A and B are shown apart, each in its own frame.
Chain A
Amino acid sequence: MIHRLPEEKIQISAEQAQAQSEALFNSIGDGAITTDEFGKITRINPVGLKILGYAEKDLIGEWFPKKIIALNERDESINLIDRPITRAFLTGQPVSEKMHYRKKNGDILPVSISISPILFGGKPIGAIEVFRDITIEEEIDRMKSEFISLASHQLRTPLSAIKTYSHMLVDGYMGETTTAQKKSLRTIIAATNRMNELISTLLNITRIESGTIAVSPKNIHLYRACDEVIKELNLAANEKSISLTLKKKGAATTTVKTDNLIIKEVITNLVSNAIKYTSEDGHIEVSVQGKTNDVVFSVRDNGWGIPKESHSQVFTKFFRAQNTVKRETTGTGLGLYLVQGLLERLGGKIWFESEEGVGTIFYVSLPRNSPTLRSIK
């Protein structure tokens, strides 16, 4: 037998639920905004109002994407299609991101947001966003990065002394050394080089993550930049009897306006990786091709390849494929993570094809004009 609740009780329950929801919403320690299915703001809690500097009447009924201005790291407005609220509505999935919001008084503040569509019968009937001012966290991050940067620099000074004096001994500045002594000194030099590489990677990663890497675009010939890197790395390739060649595809110029140091770091990482993960007597080919709006270069090797199950993790921090770890090759798993981060700063893209036991080809496309990015520091 079904007992129906009297109309009055239903009314009280609904009001209680409403009051509970209101109390819950208003007591959220972060900013919270809800919208209807059209993206119009229906509610915002006191913390949200305080963070953004608005009064409730300024926002209620307003279209969220228009009123809450979101900016990217270059302080440019984020397109509607790329706004988390749009993506949450389109996919029906929650979206979490870091971005900047413009306050009512024009100030810009970094925020971490998480927005979820409110689904009813599988369809979005609104959205709720929770956001938090992360100015202090960002400041701590920046201080941490500065500390790492300084610590790395301080580590390099004694390393430079070890390397310089070892070289001076090998080169005979302090008198003749025996063949065995020279061999030992070269081992010391090689070890300091490895340590330097590690410090470089660490420094670059902290700079990318803290936004303190500056991009200073100048006109460079990408073919020439590849040629210079290959000349530097030929010795390492020769040691494994690997042939390292450079080709230019097509007649179009390979001139790009980009940051010379950063792009060389990218090429060096990709070619060094190819040398590291290719067996003796292997082949590596770097080719460069100018296209209408961009220049593409690729690094192809016939090395060990990347197992298919690892393809999605290749650009993640500290990733190393199982088939490389087993062969005990030195590596930190930071190189490709760094390369991707550097290319993002240059407005470039990277992708790859790989088959285990056959080889790998990495492609990089660079826009003819990289955006100038000031460092935040």
Chain B
Amino acid sequence: MANILVVEDDKDLNNAYCIILSNEGHTVSSAFDGQEALEKVKTFEPQLILLDLLMPIMGGLEFLQHFDLKSHKKVKVLIFTNMENSPEVAEAYKLGAHRCIIKSWTAPHNLARVIKEAIENDSAEVTA
């Protein structure tokens, strides 16, 4: 089980992911934009961040630029977006994202499975 930070601006989706992941036994915290997420990581110490890309105030890409995954090697970032096959997703990979998941295609049990795999698999395998 892991500390997971859910960064998603849509309140309904944010709430849903928190319920799903808590049900799986994870400790979950939520943020609604990149800036809030940067504040949360200072105290919450997540092993995994579920990150939306398009958000107000600070989007996912800007968050990744500030967070700098190279200096947080134990943290994995899963991009959770509806912007499939977009330049933004390619940019997120360049900034160190572990995997990209398309929100509208992913059922809760698949989300739970992907997160379990990401936590268990310490090699930084990158698949879309």
Contact = CB atoms under 8 A, between A and B. Distances in A.
B12 A171 contact: no
A120 interface: no
A160 B108 contact: no
A269 interface: no
B1 interface: no
Interface stretch (B31-39, B67-75, B78-86, B114-122): B78-86
Contacts of B20: 168, 173
B90 interface: yes
B128 A165 contact: no
Given A173-B20, A173-B23, A164 B85 contact: no
A216 interface: yes
Contacts, number: 66
Interface stretch (A7-15, A129-137, A257-265, A281-289): A257-265
A173 B108 contact: yes
Nearest to A199: B104
- Majority secondary structure, B binding face: helix
B16 A375 contact: no
B55 to A, nearest CB: 11
A375 B90 CA distance: 11
Interface string B96-128: 000000011101110000000000000000001
Given A173-B20, A261-B128, A156 B87 contact: no
Given A173-B19, A260-B128, A261-B128, A156 B85 contact: no
B57 interface: no
Nearest to A375: B87
Interface string A143-174: 00000010001001101110111011001010
Contacts of A212: 87
Nearest to B109: A171
B104 A156 contact: yes
Given A168-B19, A168-B20, A173-B19, A262 B85 contact: yes
Nearest to B128: A261
Give the residue among A167, A207, A265 with the most B Cβ atoms within 10 A.
A167
A161 B82 contact: no
Contact of A161 (B10, B83, B84): B10
A308 B64 CA distance: 54
A288 to B, nearest CB: 20
Contacts of A167: 107-109
Interface of A: 149, 153, 156-157, 159-161, 163-165, 167-168, 171, 173, 192, 196, 199-200, 203-204, 207, 212-214, 216, 260-262, 265, 375, 377
* CB-CB nearest 8 A-B residue pairs: A156-B82, A161-B12, A160-B103, A160-B104, A164-B16, A167-B107, A196-B104, A261-B85
21 contacts: A153-B83, A156-B103, A156-B104, A157-B13, A157-B103, A160-B13, A160-B82, A161-B13, A161-B16, A163-B104, A164-B16, A164-B107, A165-B16, A167-B107, A173-B20, A192-B104, A196-B105, A203-B84, A214-B87, A216-B90, A265-B85
Given A160-B104, A200-B84, A261-B85, 4 more contacts: A153-B82, A161-B16, A164-B107, A165-B16
